[in-house]
A and B are shown apart, each in its own frame.
Chain A
Amino acid sequence: MSDFTPETRPSALRRAWDSDLAYSFRTSPVALVSGIVALAIILGAVFAPWLAPYDPFDPGSLNLMDGFTPPMEPNPFTGNVYWMGTDNQGRDVFSTILYGARTSLFVGFAAVLFAMVLGISLGLVAGYRGGWLDGLLMRIADVQLTFPSILLALLIFGVARGFIPPAYREAMAIWVLIIAIGLSDWVQYARVVRGATMVEKNKEYIQAARVIGVHPAKILVTHILPNVMGPVLVIATIGLALAIIAEATLSFLGVGLPPTQPSLGTLIRIGQGFLFSGEWWILAFPAIALLALALSVNLLGDWLRDALNPRLR
């Protein structure tokens, strides 16, 4: 906060409520509904240890006799009733979804953050420096774009597993996954930031800073970065949905997170095995949760893109 922030002004909450963005959010039914859904899932995931009725990772509390209990029906052996039923090991599906969403969201946020930091820094440097460095970075980006990102993530994941000793594989899996998804996703941030940087750097306020000899790194961070963050936030929101789906896909394919650390994708993979034997709920509820999460985040991203675009107002 600068020295010139006024001392007497409405509270931060009041200003946020009065902002254009908040108004657009309040008056858009799609944004409102998807915001509530996304917030509910995120809160559920964050507070999973307190909200979940059972701890699905405590083997002591699991009873194999509870296995395959259908939703809302008492178990024939123990008489326990589960909201969304139980899986083959007697784990409460609702609780595993809360914990699974926790893992999925963590991987999603971390991968987007990693891709953002990498993409923004490379985009800023490429756009501001120009010349051969720009050419090199953008050709790397072009080459990377010719591969489907899921294929790239698979490749990075496979290579990383080759380097990590087997004893650490399970513990490191989540970090490898984050880096794999992040690396496969930095290009779009870099491109958007590079384009916006090239527009901004020729504006006279940048020249004014250069005349007085402000260091280029400082110009990038204090002048250009705040002016290119708008489009970045939009792709970051949509990128979050994509990262969650990428993680679920990798975990579904069995190369992502191990069953000891299940994400929504892992849960879907486990449930898939029981679909044709009639235990549909083991697959259906995690799948619905993933769908609701990805869809609501995506719709929020769409709304944000429209709300931040002055030409669409």
Chain B
Amino acid sequence: MGDALVRVEGLTRYFDVSKPWLNRVIEREPKAWLTAVADVSFEIRRGETFALVGESGSGKSTIAKMIVGLLPPSEGRIVFDGQPMAGTAGAAMRSLRRRFQMIFQDPFASLNPRWRVGDIIAEPIRTFGLASGAEVRREVGRLLEVVGLGAADAAKFPHEFSGGQRQRIAIARALSSKPEFIVCDEPTSALDVSVQAQILNLMRDLQDEFGLTYLFISHDLSVVRHMANRIGVLYLGRLAEVAEGKRLFREPRHPYSRMLLDAVPDLEMSGRRRKRVEGEIPNPIDPPPGCAFHPRCPLVADRCRREIPAPVPVADGMAACFAVEEGRG
């Protein structure tokens, strides 16, 4: 086991989705809460790519936002390299912030349209005071070349670039503060399929070159398979299974993981029939009692309707399922 760079413990996030106060009083409705993330714990080891997969609404992006500090957790804590994020402030927080970065989903929204590319990439350098004057220019030029663009592109505006090139710029910005850990929130889902592979390969090369650790968020299993060392499967805000990447694809334990993998198109032409994902993800405001997956689960038993399964440690990760626990799977 490598040492954990990021440790997430019991992370939970509620959102207040109540109607306005006056409506609640008149309609006699209580406050409504949505549990986007419930009691999620995992750790990301130095140098690895940890992927979080799940359908939309499973809480992937909420976890990403909490880890980089865009959203405060309702409960639980995030420990970065032994230092809890909550309660860290001032200069200590500044030096902590320099060490993690984020790459966003939409490269058309993640670059300020009125800034020159050079200024966009230099923003973290200037914010953290890592360089000044001509040094900034040189560093930006170097970063642009690292991500496969030219130093002269620094003078252009984002609208002069394609989606893939913009994502390269976003990656250069993320690299500019020399971080150790990068949260990638669906970095390729807004791109053409032909460009996706280029960006993913670039990210892998950069990982090798700079020893980066990635938290990779995606709903695309084939992308995750290409990128991840370990994978966490999220269902309705809870971790269903954590496993080594290869093992998950070979023999998924949790029934939800199986269902997801069965739905992936068979690219190897092994003759495996593709199965449809059955049912829909339930409304998170009013989740089913017991195991949230039980209405869709082929292995459902009585216990699943009453109790929430606790994570059970298995060889290379964990699974939160009574069927796995009882050996019925």
Contact = CB atoms under 8 A, between A and B. Distances in A.
Interface of A: 2-6, 203-205, 207-214, 223, 226-227
Contact of A203 (B101, B109, B117): B109
A18 to B, nearest CB: 15
B329 to A, nearest CB: 40
B110 A208 contact: yes
A73 B280 CA distance: 90
B123 interface: yes
B116 interface: yes
11 contacts: A2-B119, A4-B137, A204-B105, A204-B110, A205-B112, A211-B100, A211-B102, A212-B97, A212-B101, A212-B177, A227-B113
Contacts of B110: 203-205, 207-208
B94 A223 contact: no
Contact of B117 (A4, A207, A223): A4
Nearest to A202: B109
Contacts of A3: 118-119, 122, 133, 136-137
Contacts of A205: 109-112, 120
B128 interface: yes
Interface string B89-132: 00001100110111011100111111111111011100110000
A161 B90 CA distance: 49
Contact of B155 (A6, A203, A211, A223): A6
Given A4-B137, A207-B102, A208-B173, A213 B109 contact: no
Nearest to A6: B155
Contact of A209 (B123, B136, B137, B154): B123
B119 A213 contact: no
Contact of B104 (A5, A204, A223, A226): A204
B137 A210 contact: no
B127 A212 contact: yes
User: What 7 A-B pairs come out closest when comparing CB atoms?
Assistant: A4-B118, A204-B110, A204-B104, A6-B155, A4-B116, A226-B114, A205-B112
Contacts of A211: 68-70, 97, 100-102
A210 B97 CA distance: 10
B212 interface: no
Contacts, number: 75
A118 B101 CA distance: 36
B155 A213 contact: no
B140 interface: yes
B94 A213 contact: yes
B123 A5 contact: no
A204 B109 contact: yes
Contacts of B70: 207, 210-211
Contacts of B128: 212
A213 B93 contact: yes
Interface in B74-102: 93-94, 97-98, 100-102
**Most chain-B Cβ atoms within 10 A of its Cβ — which of A2, A204, A207, A208?**
A208
Given A4-B137, A210-B70, A226-B112, 12 more contacts: A3-B137, A4-B117, A4-B118, A4-B155, A204-B106, A209-B123, A211-B70, A211-B97, A213-B94, A214-B123, A223-B112, A226-B114
Contacts of B94: 213
A92 B106 CA distance: 65
Nearest to B93: A213
B57 to A, nearest CB: 18
B170 to A, nearest CB: 8
Nearest to A7: B155
A272 B329 CA distance: 96
A103 B113 CA distance: 39
A224 to B, nearest CB: 9
A138 to B, nearest CB: 14
